[in-house]
């Protein structure tokens, strides 16, 4: 491709040289013939001493003049023929200068099909890439600031009450009953635990989001993983008086994945189903294994999430109004973490919610290959 283009430009320059040389020869021939005729005529008229007579039998000086005239004609013709390319190069160089001075709205028209048009196309692409990169940088700066504000807010809330209760407990007000004291200590403990969970979630999220988690992809039996996970949740199901069901179209299905990350992903989904679907009395985990993909859905019943909120659930810190006001406790990071894990595996995650239940569906590849996957950094995504 590059050679083709350089040949194209080469050919054009060589063609221009040949044209200019031919034109110079013609002009020289015209001059020589006409001036010789003029000299001959002057000699015949007996004006041997006249200026024209010199051209009849030209000496070295006249020959030199012819050569110089030829060179001048060649140069002018060549410059005229090359003018278009020269102008284009000037335009390119002005554009490069503008870009280097920070004007990212600069573009150069792609004219023709040679090295310079390719250069113009590359230049346009480069400017576009820089512009996109800067937008992304700005966006990520904004998200980061938002994240910091949210973190500060979410950390301060439990901390304020911890400090408040500790002040009450350690203050001069010593006539507090042992029962009250125990109550306050319990509240402080619960808040401190909440703070701990928040910090753990944040830590986990930032680590995932900024690609600091290295994946250990191995062969994982997804059916076994989910049944083990559900067993671990048994006390929680009992606690909330929930029945659970695991349905699978295959007894086992081996996929390439990071087992720990998958456990974390489904842990979040099942946790949510228990937390927000307690009134539905039933949770169903369904596995559908096909040749190249495995689809896992986690369904709970009861509360229907409003349609307009569905796309927002996977945003970090987003919590449906109802969950904020009810006392479910949570940071709104669970689903953001879940989405990151799914994307790290090159899969997809979605949610639907209606009277037939709230269904979170994860689709994973069976032959996931970390090297082939454009794994990148989930944090790169515009959010």
* Burial class, 18, CB count within 10 angstroms (exposed 0-12 / middle 13-18 / buried 19+): exposed
Contacting residues for 292 by C-beta, under 8 A, at least 6 apart: 365, 366, 367
CB of 212 to ligand ATP, least distance (A): 19
Report the distance separating Cα 125 and Cα 180, nearest Å. Answer: 69
**Piece of 47-55, 156-164, 297-305, 375-383 that binds ligand ATP (CB under 6 A):** 297-305
Cβ count within 10 A of residue 42: 19
Q: In the beta sheet, which residues pair with residue 349?
A: 362
Q: Is 272 in the site for ligand ATP (CB under 6 A)?
A: yes
- Whose Cβ is closer to ligand ATP: residue 209's or residue 323's? 323
Q: Is 330 in the site for ligand ATP (CB under 6 A)?
A: yes
Q: Is 331 in the site for ligand ATP (CB under 6 A)?
A: yes
Pick the binder of Mg ion from 117, 209, 272, 299 (CB under 5 A). 272
Report the distance separating Cα 247 and Cα 224, nearest Å. Answer: 12
Binding mask 333-362 for Mg ion (x = CB under 5 A): -x----------------------------
Q: Is 194 in the site for ligand ATP (CB under 6 A)?
A: no
Confirm if 205 and 337 have CB atoms less than 8 A apart: yes
Pairing state of beta strands 218-221 and 357-365? unpaired
Instruction: Give the number of residues in contact with Mg ion, rule: CB under 5 A.
Output: 2
- Whose Cβ is closer to Mg ion: residue 275's or residue 288's? 275
In sequence order, which ranges of 281-333 are alpha helices (DSSP H)? 321-325
* Burial class, 201, CB count within 10 angstroms (exposed 0-12 / middle 13-18 / buried 19+): buried
Confirm if 192 and 162 have CB atoms less than 8 A apart: yes
- Whose Cβ is closer to ligand ATP: residue 24's or residue 305's? 305
Q: Is 303 in the site for ligand ATP (CB under 6 A)?
A: yes
State the virtual CA torsion across 207, 345, 275, 146 in degrees, nearest 10: 40
Binding-site partner at residue 201 among ligand ATP, Mg ion, none, CB < 5 to 8 Å by type: ligand ATP
Cβ count within 10 A of residue 34: 11
**Piece of 6-14, 63-71, 252-260, 266-274 that binds ligand ATP (CB under 6 A):** 266-274
Q: Is 357 in the site for ligand ATP (CB under 6 A)?
A: no
Q: Is 277 in the site for Mg ion (CB under 5 A)?
A: no
Q: Is 320 in the site for ligand ATP (CB under 6 A)?
A: yes
CB of 151 to ligand ATP, least distance (A): 13
Pick the binder of ligand ATP from 27, 77, 108, 273 (CB under 6 A). 273
CB of 323 to Mg ion, least distance (A): 9
CA nearest 306: which of 354, 247, 340, 363? 354
Contact residues for Mg ion (CB under 5 A)?
Answer: 272, 334
Contact residues for ligand ATP (CB under 6 A)?
Answer: 201, 268, 272-273, 276-277, 300, 303, 305, 313, 318-320, 323, 330-336, 358
């Amino acid at each position: 491709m590059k050679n083709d283009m350089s040949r194209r430009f080469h050919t054009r320059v060589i063609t221009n040289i040949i044209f200019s040389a031919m034109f110079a020869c013609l002009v020289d021939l015209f001059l020589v013939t006409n001036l010789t005729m003029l000299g001959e005529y002057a000699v015949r008229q007996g004006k041997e001493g006249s200026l024209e007579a010199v051209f009849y039998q030209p000496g070295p000086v006249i020959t030199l003049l012819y050569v110089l005239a030829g060179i001048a004609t060649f140069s002018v013709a060549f410059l005229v023929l090359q003018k278009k390319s020269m102008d284009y190069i000037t335009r390119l160089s002005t554009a490069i200068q503008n870009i280097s001075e920070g004007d990212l709205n600069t573009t150069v028209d792609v004219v023709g099909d040679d090295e310079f048009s390719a250069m113009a196309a590359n230049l346009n692409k480069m400017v576009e890439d820089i512009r996109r990169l800067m937008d992304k940088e700005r966006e990520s700066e904004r998200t980061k600031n938002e994240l910091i504000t949210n973190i500060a807010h979410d950390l301060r809330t439990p901390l304020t009450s911890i400090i408040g209760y500790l002040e009450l407990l350690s203050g001069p007000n010593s006539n507090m009953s042992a029962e009250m004291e125990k109550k306050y200590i319990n509240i402080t403990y619960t808040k401190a635990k909440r703070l701990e969970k928040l910090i753990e979630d944040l830590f986990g999220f930032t680590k995932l989001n900024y690609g600091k988690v290295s994946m250990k992809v191995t062969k994982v039996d997804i059916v076994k993983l989910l049944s083990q996970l559900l067993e671990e949740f048994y006390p929680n199901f009992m606690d909330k008086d929930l029945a659970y069901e695991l349905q699978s179209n295959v007894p086992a299905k081996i996929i390439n994945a990071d087992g720990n990350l998958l456990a974390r992903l489904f842990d979040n989904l099942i946790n949510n189903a228990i937390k927000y679907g307690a009134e539905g009395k039933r949770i169903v985990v369904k596995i559908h294994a096909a040749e190249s993909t495995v689809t896992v859905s986690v369904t709970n019943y009861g509360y229907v999430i409003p349609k307009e909120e569905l796309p927002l659930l996977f945003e970090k810190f987003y919590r449906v109004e109802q969950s904020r006001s009810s006392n479910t406790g949570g940071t709104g990071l669970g689903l953001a973490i879940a989405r990151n894990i799914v994307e790290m595996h090159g899969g997809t995650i979605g949610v639907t919610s209606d009277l037939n239940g709230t269904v979170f569906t994860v689709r994973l590849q069976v032959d996931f290959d970390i090297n082939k996957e454009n794994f990148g950094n989930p944090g790169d995504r515009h959010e």
